[in-house]
Every structure is written in C-alpha cells, then in structure tokens.
Amino acid sequence: MRKLERLSLSTRRPFAGQMKGEKRSIKQGTGIDFADYREYAAGDDLRYVDWNAAARTDRLYLKLFVEEEELFLALLIDTSKSMGFGNPSKLKVATQMAASLGYIGLCNYDRIMVQPYSEVLSSPLPVQRGRTGVPRLLNYLQKIEAKGSTDFSHTLKRYAASTKSKGLAIVFSDCFDEGWKDGMKSLLARGFQIVMVHILSEEETSPSLRGDLRILDSETGNVRELSVTPQLLERYTRTVTAFCSEIELFCHKYGMDYIRVSSNEPVESLILTTLRRVGLVR
C-alpha cells in the first residue's frame, strides 16, 4: 500500500471533474499552472488581474490558470461464473487489481465507483472519494462472487446510458461473450477513455487436458464430449491466440488500451510494472 500511495492514475486526455483534485482539467481557473490571458470584463475578480501587464498596456488583463480536478474512475468487473475459473480465479485477480487501482485513485482524491456485471448489473459501490472510502471499497470487493452467465452488450449499454460522468473506465473480463464489442462501443460513445483488462487463466491458454473428456460450460451447463489429442490442442492454442489478437486489434482500432493478464501473475507486478509500462499509472 505504501508503494501504491506514491502512484497516480494517468489519462491521455483531461476530463472535467466536479471537485478539486490532482488531475489537470480542461477548465481554466485559479490553479497553479498558467494557461493564458484574457481581457478583463465587468464582474471579474480583481485579484486575478495582471497589474504588471496593466501598467505596460493601460488595459486590464486576467491571468487564467489550469485547474487541478479529480478524475472519475469506473471499475467495471465481469462477475459471470466463468470468471471463477483458475487458481487463483480470474475474478480474484480482477478484484485485487480493482482494489489497487481504486486505492491509488482514493489517495489522489479521485472519484471511484465499482460496477459488477454479468447478465444483469449488480448493485454498485456508490462513488467514493478520499481515503475514508478505502474500507468501503475493500469490503465491497471482498463480497463479489462469480455467478450467472454473461450479457456483455446489454449490461454495459445499460451502464453507459445510466451514468452521468465521463472519465476512465477499466473493464475486467475474460470476454467469453459474443457481445463484448457492442458493450465496449457503448462506453466509448459515452465519452470514456477505456482500458480492457483481459484476464485468462493459465489452464485456459495452455491446458493440460488429455484423453477422452466431458467438457462442461460453467455458465450454460452445456456438455460436450471431446477426445483431446496433441493436434486438437495445437488448434486450440491457435484459436486462443486469434481470439486475443482480435480483441487487441479492436481496442487499438478504437483508441482503447488492451492489457492481457494471466491469473497466475502476481498482482503487485501487474500494477507496478505492466500498468506503468502502458501508462495507466505513473
């Protein structure tokens, strides 16, 4: 936590916040970084007149500054049953990463909210701000469970339509739903900067299965009998690689960040190394 306190969230563009914080805002006001001048108008605060410029030009000019405002961070966590797979589970990694990023944001007075989703939107963690929100964030994340199927498109469209804020949206998912593209596009249309954290377990990317097996879909209950041969595993590996590449290409096409994560990677390394490398934290 001491390491996290030294970090801050970084965005590619400024967002308009509601309260003072530590992010550069698109508004010009009474911050510390000089932005520009404009001519004095009746009713302006005389404290911000540049009297040196007035003495040289016989005209009144106001100093304008870039304000420091908070960032709105939406942590959107896929809680469908497939996220419970792996050791540790994909959901555990997602909640640990969300806890770390949320803690960084709260230490910097950003506004943080958590929205779990599967086939429906679960009750969210209301917006938190400041260190007093840390216990509520951690307690909330500890109670999240993997259950139900996924409706990526429907739930994220509903979230995008219901939120009034714009900012940074970090989506944690294994993307095992055909509607993931529509869901991501709905967040993009709402004006979010989006980061897709694509979490897969090592057993999903490099399975150790062999022989004749009955494969059960954890979300739908569908059963399929397979003879797992080396040739089938080669085809499977190519399919998984193509699946991940499709998501990465889609994200890059629409200006989103894509981060692929294995559930067996240490979370500390993911936050302090991987997310630093992509510029999400600094």
What's the pLDDT at 67? 54
What's the pLDDT at 98? 98
pLDDT over threshold 60, residue 110: yes
**Alpha helices for the chain (secondary structure H):** 2-5, 51-57, 90-107, 134-142, 152-162, 180-189, 202-205, 230-253, 267-269, 275-277
What's the pLDDT at 47? 78
C-beta of residue 5 within 8 angstroms of C-beta of residue 101: no
How many CB atoms lie under 10 A from the CB of residue 230? 7
**In the 8-state DSSP scheme, what is residue 242?**
H
Residues forming a β-bridge with 214: 225
Tokens read off for 29: 């006001």
Confidence of residue 27 (pLDDT cuts 50, 70, 90): very low
Q: What are the residue ranges spanned by the domains of the chain?
A: 20-69, 72-277
pLDDT over threshold 50, residue 18: no
What's the pLDDT at 49? 85
- DSSP per residue, 112-138: EEEEEESSSBPPPEEEEESGGGHHHHH
What's the pLDDT at 28? 44
Mean pLDDT confidence for 2-7: 91
Amino acid at 213: L
Beta strand 61-69 with 33-39: parallel, antiparallel or unpaired?
A: antiparallel
What's the pLDDT at 65? 63
* pLDDT digits 0-9 by tens, 122-165: 999 999 999 999 999 999 999 999 999 999 999 999 999 999 88
Cα dihedral 167/169/170/175 (nearest 10): -160
Mean pLDDT confidence for 210-221: 89
* pLDDT digits 0-9 by tens, 35-92: 667 787 777 778 778 888 888 888 888 776 655 567 999 999 999 999 999 999 999 9
* pLDDT digits 0-9 by tens, 232-270: 999 999 999 999 999 999 999 999 999 999 999 999 999
What's the pLDDT at 247? 98
What's the pLDDT at 270? 94
> CA–CA separation, 77 vs 144, rounded Å?
9
* pLDDT digits 0-9 by tens, 168-186: 999 999 999 999 999 999 9
List for the chain the helix, strand, coil content (%; round to 5). 40, 30, 35
CATH class of segment(s) 72-277: alpha beta
